[in-house]
Amino acid sequence: MRNLAAWIDAGSVVALTGAGISTDSGIPDFRGPDGVWTRDPEAMKLSSIDHYVADPQVRRRAWQERLHNPAWTAEPNAAHHALADLERAGKVTAVITQNIDGLHQRAGASNVIELHGTLSQTECLTCAERRPMPETLARVTAGDPDPACLSCGGLLKSATISFGQSMHLPTLEAAAEAAVGCDVLLAIGTSLTVHPAAGLVDVAHKSGAMVVIINAAETPYDPIAHLLVRDPIGEVLPRLVAG
């Protein structure tokens, strides 16, 4: 940890965060021992654009999941606040996140690159119109199990990237630019199995950055990491702020 603190003090840091950083806020991860998909493999269909478009039952279940998503009541935890503190101190230049919960922003981080989009908005798959998610969830609560776009009647979903959907190119380019330019990449709470997000570790490594993986389980990128940290995320990041 002394080396890590020294690396952070000496250069620009980019954080790449996954579901593991939000578990202390009460949001379960997907692939962990008690993850959403581990407990219910059928739930993966909710994150597949092909299943979502083809099956009204999948869409209805997805809207119920959105209505009761723990992100609406979750609060940023010590790890989120620590990254925001490191950004304010000029040490973290960007937070690239695979999460859709908005907790980094609520903790005070300003330069957040949301690779997989956001739960806070809906997007029409036909006309691409975006609206605030609470507006559409109110329609679900009022009895519409599969609300359509109010402008064109197209299918609505959360403004997130599902399996089978293309990434938002400007967002991916911003993430790659941040990874290329950093001196230290902190991969935090991510299994590093989903691409292209996981590939940012390679991008940073090939650009000469120190790669630090803070995750309870092994990842495919452990062999190229300069440091592996298995301690709880909510303890590690606040220690870095304290120095």
User: What's the number of CA atoms in the CB half-sphere (13 Å) around residue 59?
Assistant: 18
11 closest CA partner among 80, 92, 97: 92
Burial class (CB in 10 A: 0-12, 13-18, 19+), 42: exposed
Q: Which residues are catalytically annotated?
A: 116
- Tally of CB atoms within 10 A around 31: 16
Q: Give all strands of the β-sheet with 184-188 in edge-to-edge order.
A: 112-114, 92-97, 13-17, 184-188, 210-214, 227-229
**Angle (nearest 5°) at CA 82 between 213 and 208:** 40
At residue 234, the 3 state secondary structure works out as helix
Alpha-carbon dihedral sign for residues 126, 123, 20, 26: negative
Residue type at position 179: A
| 159 vs 180: CA distance, rounded Å | 27
DSSP 69: -
